[in-house]
Structure 1
Amino acid sequence: MTVTSETEIGAARGSRGVLFASLRLLVVLVIATAIVATFFDTASRATINPFNFFGYFTMQSNIITAVILLLAAVATFRGRPQTPLLVLLRACATTYIVIVGIVYNTLLTGLEGGISLDWANWVLHVAFPVYAALDWILFGDRSAVPWRNLWVVLIFPAVWIVVVLIRGATDGWVPYPFLDPAQGYGIVAMYCIVIFIATVVVGALVFAISRVRVIAP
């Protein structure tokens, strides 16, 4: 009787794991479709510069998060637990995509430019950030992320900002108006500090949630 019960529990957990992985795979396909559709839509209206198109924090964060969720799904399908490194990368990716949602919906929504396909814009700036947050909060197939690794979440934003500042000072291209050096480097520096603070705050919240399980794997 005990053996049967444990078997049933194991089967239920396995079914939930496959369900989580399948949902993640579906979401990844939707994100890939939105990015590809946006690329070709942009290319149909003007000569596209890949460095500019993929230079946006939105695009990079969506790609990073999609790739990490794909790796998590593959690990589940193969019956393997997520490694501590993968869980850390998931925490970082979740931080970035949540920041995308926050920044877009507080600073950028309604401004001219950006993604012209309304459905793709909604998927990349609203739907995916919300899904990624819920995925991290609800799906308990993750271990607690050590607090000593919180600094890791700053690596990608730091590199991205450095590249943007260099490009802004050389070829004049900036992805977002609040990073335009034309308004003065003092203002740009203020926004950079805000970005770093937001990254640490959101990252700390993501790390804290990793210690709570709502739906066990």
Structure 2
Amino acid sequence: MTVALVGVLIQLAVTVAGTSTVTTETFPLPVRLWHFVGYFTIQSNLVVIATVLPLVRDPGHDGPIWRVLRLASLVMITVTGLVHWFLLRPLSTLTGGEAVGDVLVHVAAPALTVLGWLAFGPRPRITAPTVARSMVWPVAWLVCTLVAGGLTGWYPYPFLDVSARGAAPVALTCGAIAVLLAGLSTACWRLDRVLSVPRATIAP
């Protein structure tokens, strides 16, 4: 949680200062902040922070909404790490504090979140309805991003840029991301059961 929080704050500071090297376009501060919260990376790190914080206070924390957000955060941060490593990292030429923030939110936070869940759970916490509901946030993000990009011309990631890549390639990319999300959610469900205490039962 701390790693994700520090990484987000560094990225926010770079955004406010307008010194990011990710884009050469200059936007007013309100637009830069709007773009900032529109990044899947930022959202996934924020959801991780929001769902881990209750565990700091109570390691056995539970609740129907928390379960959905917990699984969503786990899957979203994993996708963040995978997409960054395989699609965005080769394009990265960051330096200084921006590079540090980039590593924290794209590499360290995903790795630590997954390892933390595997080691400490808590479990069992995942059911079939939880898997289905956890897909709502990332899929809604994809839809909203494409709609907003079509209206404004700004896309947070090059692989979603319809104007540059065309509708068909972007649609295939979105389909692949959706399949990845569903696969990861299902895998977490299976692992949750395997790693649970044998006599434990999963609440509906």
The TM-score range, normalised by the shorter chain, is: 0.7 to 0.9
Q: Which residue number corresponds to residue 34 of structure 2? A: 51
Partner of 1:167: 148
- Given the alignment, which residue of 174, 192, 199 partners 1:210? 192
Q: Quick one: distance in 2 between partners of 1:170 and 1:109? A: 28
Shift of 1:212: 3.0
Pair 1:188 & 2:170 matched: yes
C-alpha spacing 1:166/1:57, structure 2 compared with 1 (3 Å): same
Q: TM-score by structure 1 length?
A: 0.77
Residue ranges of structure 1 left out of the alignment (5+ in a row)? 1-27
1:34 corresponds to? 7
| Identical counterparts, % of pairs | 26
- The equivalent of 1:68 in structure 2 is 51
How high is the TM-score relative to the length of structure 2?
A: 0.82
Q: Determine the C-alpha separation between the residues in 2 that align with 1:114 and 1:196.
A: 29
> Residue 60 of structure 1: CA displacement?
0.4
* Larger radius of gyration between Structure 1 and Structure 2: 1
Is 1:131 equivalent to 2:116 in the alignment?
no
d(CA) in 2 for partners of 1:84, 1:170: 35
Change (3 A) 1:187 1:38: same
Aligned to 1:122: 103
Paired residue total:
185
Name structure 2 gaps, 5 residues minimum: 20-25, 198-204
Deviations 1:134-166 (A, max 9, x none): 111111422141124321122011211111111
Matched with 2:81 is: 101
Deviation at 1:85, TM superposition (A): 3.7
CA 1:146–1:214: 2 relative to 1, 3 Å: closer
- Specify the code of the residue in structure 1 equivalent to 2:36: F
Tell me, yes or no, if the aligned pair for 2:78 and 2:114 is still in contact at 8 Å. Answer: yes
Deviation at 1:82, TM superposition (A): 2.1
Shift of 1:131: 0.8
One-letter code of the match for 1:159?
A
Q: 1-side partners of 2:86 and 2:132: how far apart?
A: 25
